[in-house]
């Protein structure tokens, strides 16, 4: 995948060793993260000597200890790790007292304000143009994910409310990142996703703030080559399925970005293919877009490629673009050949067999 993350780059020059925090968490997160580790190890001496630090988090950990994200995990990430990889967490759909999703919390605690989710198909011909080649940039810290919910009893029974927070600051920084990324891509096209026709105050602020990025002090025409469009989120999903080629970079508030990127994953064949990084100005955490997939967990059939691609994105982000390219080329060639694939892609191979096939090609 040719993809560069132009968020403020993290200097690599002096790095003698690399410490990667590993948070497999729950379900298939535990099955796919070893694949990401194997891919990084397959790079050998082309990256600094790498140490993997296993860290605890997740719903299962919560059921044993009463916390889903121990302070030690956050402290180790902040003080010892250069970057991290997260697997997936099994957050229940019912309210569990005392439980809160560790990944949502980590994004906030580490100020990983952007979730960058490239969705790209692999063309049969290595020189061919992919049918789908877009990036969803999801604001990662606010919107409904501030998780301020209340329930009261009104005249007609129970009433539940959720606060949706959109700030100018968060919208501006995600907007700046979106413009930067659009500028680096061949089509230089940015679509702002919102629902301002209904939510004119919250989504209105997001839309206006993102659109105003080119007029910010200091920008000085830097984004003149970026074309900007906007699309209401519902019709954006419709158009995504009918004419994905109209999209290049899509920037969206948290919830819409979450939904759009899962939808976009369907266009390339599987959620098990789509990687992401949670990026802030001083830390990056790779994470496959998928969840813990309880329906297939424990069978060694989860597709590890999203996790492996997330490792590549993470490495590129901290300055190891050559290593990232090698991993991505290996993944693409396995997909192109189509012989060693997990069942989600119509294959019969196990997770571990796909990992072996990728690492062999790195």
Question: What are the catalytic residues?
Answer: 145, 195, 234, 258, 262
User: Does residue number 258 form part of the binding site for Mg ion (CB under 5 A)?
Assistant: yes
Return the residue of 5, 33, 250, 306 that touches ligand NAI, per CB under 6 A: 306
Q: Are 317 and 5 in contact (CB under 8 A)?
A: yes
Token representation of residue 349: 């191979």
Residue, CB closest to ligand NAI: 291
Residue closer to ligand NAI (CB basis): 32 or 56: 32
Site for ligand NAI in 23-82 (CB under 6 A): 28, 32
| 138: Cβ contacts below 8 Å, ≥ 6 apart | 114, 115, 116, 117, 252, 253, 254, 256, 257, 258, 260, 261
Nearest distance from C-beta of residue 270 to ligand NAI, angstroms = 6
Contact 73, 13 (CB under 8 A): no
Q: Considering only CA atoms, which of 244, 252, 248, 255 is closest in space to residue 226?
A: 248
Q: Answer yes or no whether residue 138 interacts with ligand NAI by CB under 6 A.
A: no
Judged by CB under 6 A, which of 82, 142, 203, 344 binds ligand NAI? 344
Written as six digits, the tokens of 170 are 């968060």
CA 343 to chain centre: 23
Tokens matching residue 116: 């960058």
Judged by CB under 5 A, the number of residues near Mg ion is 1
Structure letter (DSSP) for residue 248: S
Nearer to Mg ion, 68 or 136 (CB): 136
Contact flag: residue 302 with ligand NAI (CB under 6 A): yes
Considering only residues 192 to 251 of the shown chain, the ones binding Mg ion according to CB under 5 A are none
- Closer residue to ligand NAI, CB minimum distance, 192 or 289: 289
Distance (Å, whole) CA 157 – CA 154: 5
287 binding Mg ion? (CB under 5 A): no
Q: Which stretch binds Mg ion (CB under 5 A): 11-19, 115-123, 257-265, 275-283?
A: 257-265
91 binds ligand NAI (CB under 6 A): yes
Q: Does 324 bind ligand NAI (CB under 6 A)?
A: no
- Rounded to whole angstroms, how far apart are CA atoms 317 and 296? 31
DSSP result, 14-46: T-SEEEEEEEEESTTHHHHHHHHHHHHHTTGGG
> Of 18, 228, 296, 358, which one interacts with ligand NAI (CB under 6 A)?
296
Q: Which of 293, 312, 313, 330 binds ligand NAI (CB under 6 A)?
A: 293
Query: Binding residues for ligand NAI, per CB under 6 A?
Result: 28, 32, 88-91, 103, 270-272, 290-296, 302-303, 306, 342, 344
């Amino acid at each position: 995948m040719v993809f560069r993350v132009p968020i403020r780059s993290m200097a690599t020059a002096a790095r003698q060793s690399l410490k990667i925090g590993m948070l497999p968490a729950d379900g298939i997160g535990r099955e796919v993260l070893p694949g990401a580790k194997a891919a990084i190890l397959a790079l050998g001496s082309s990256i600094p000597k790498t140490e993997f630090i296993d860290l605890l988090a997740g719903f299962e950990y919560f059921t044993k200890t009463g916390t889903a994200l121990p302070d030690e995990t956050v402290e180790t990430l902040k003080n010892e790790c250069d970057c991290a990889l997260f697997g997936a967490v099994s957050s229940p759909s019912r309210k569990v007292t005392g439980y809160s999703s560790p990944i949502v919390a980590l994004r906030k605690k580490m100020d990983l304000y952007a979730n960058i989710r490239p969705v790209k198909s692999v063309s049969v011909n290595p020189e061919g143009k992919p049918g789908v080649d877009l990036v969803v940039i999801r604001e990662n810290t606010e919107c409904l994910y501030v998780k301020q919910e209340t329930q009261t009893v009104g005249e007609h029974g129970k009433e539940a409310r959720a606060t949706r927070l959109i700030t100018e600051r968060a919208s501006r920084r995600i907007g700046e990142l979106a413009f930067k990324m659009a500028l680096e891509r061949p089509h230089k096209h940015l679509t702002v996703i919102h629902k301002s026709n209904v939510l004119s105050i919250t989504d209105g602020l997001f839309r206006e703030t993102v659109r105003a990025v080119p007029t910010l002090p200091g920008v000085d025409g830097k984004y003149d080559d970026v074309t900007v469009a906007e699309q209401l989120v519902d019709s954006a999903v419709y158009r995504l399925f009918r004419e994905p080629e109209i999209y290049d970079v899509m920037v969206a508030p948290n919830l819409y970005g979450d939904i759009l990127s899962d939808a976009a994953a369907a266009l390339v064949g599987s959620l098990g293919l789509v990687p992401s990084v949670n990026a802030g100005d001083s830390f990056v955490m790779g994470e496959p877009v998928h969840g813990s997939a309880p329906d297939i967990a424990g069978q060694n059939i989860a597709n590890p490629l999203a996790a492996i691609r997330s490792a590549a994105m993470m490495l590129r982000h901290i300055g190891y673009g050559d290593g990232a390219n090698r991993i991505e080329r290996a993944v693409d060639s396995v997909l192109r050949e189509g012989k060693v694939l997990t069942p989600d892609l119509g294959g019969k191979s196990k997770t571990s067999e796909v990992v072996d096939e990728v690492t062999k090609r790195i």
